[in-house]
Structure 1
Amino acid sequence: MTSPSSRFFDELAKVMTNAAGAAQGARREVDNLVKAQIERVLADIQIVQREEFDVVRDMASMARTENEALRARIAELETRLEAIESKPAPAAKKKAAAKSSTAKK
């Protein structure tokens, strides 16, 4: 047979274990409520979440890279256009222009 003091301590241990479990459950519940409230407040003041910010930052970086490539391509095309425009007109074009001006007379 167990002694009454031993039985008392066994019951006390069970109560403490149950109380600790209940306290942990209450803590989780409070954490969830606080987190939900913070998310609601942040949504109301329209602060973006980190994931959304990272996506937009990556999109901006890709757009910046694409803009730099397009800027280089435009500069190359402008250089080629200037080179073409600075060359003298070929003789065939001059003859065609002369024929059309004589036909108008």
Structure 2
Amino acid sequence: MQTQNPFLDEIAKLTTAAMGMAQAASEEARSAFRAQADRAAAELDLIRREEFEALKAEVAALRADIQAMRGQAAAD
């Protein structure tokens, strides 16, 4: 037969509460770090990877167009 021990019950409750607080602190630290990194990136005029890839694709398309126009000009 199992009995309830109030001391162990309180320890379990405190442990659960401490783990919840630790998780909340971790989330807040992660969010603060991300905000700091975003601020630093903005100050350094850095761009996100998605923006870089989009610009890279545009430049490749423009280069292809220029090569095609040069080919047409050379043919004339």
The two structures share one fold, judged by TM-score above 0.5: yes
- Rg larger in structure: 1
Question: 1:18 is matched by which residue type in structure 2?
Answer: A
Unaligned 5+ runs, structure 2: none
**Which residue number in structure 2 is paired with residue 27 of structure 1?**
26
Alignment of structure 1 residues 1-105 onto 2, 5 Å? 2=3, 6-77=5-76
Deviation at 1:42, TM superposition (A): 1.0
Deviation at 1:19, TM superposition (A): 0.7
Rounded Cα–Cα distance in structure 2 between residues aligned with 1:9 and 1:73: 85
CA offsets 1:16-60 (integer angstroms, 9 cap, x no match) = 011101110110001000110111011001111111111110110
Rounded Cα–Cα distance in structure 2 between residues aligned with 1:14 and 1:73: 78
Q: What is the SS of the residue equivalent to 2:25?
A: helix
**Matched length:** 74
Rounded Cα–Cα distance in structure 2 between residues aligned with 1:13 and 1:73: 79
Cα-Cα RMSD:
1.1
TM-score by length of 2: 0.89
Percentage of identical aligned residues: 34
TM-score by length of 1: 0.66
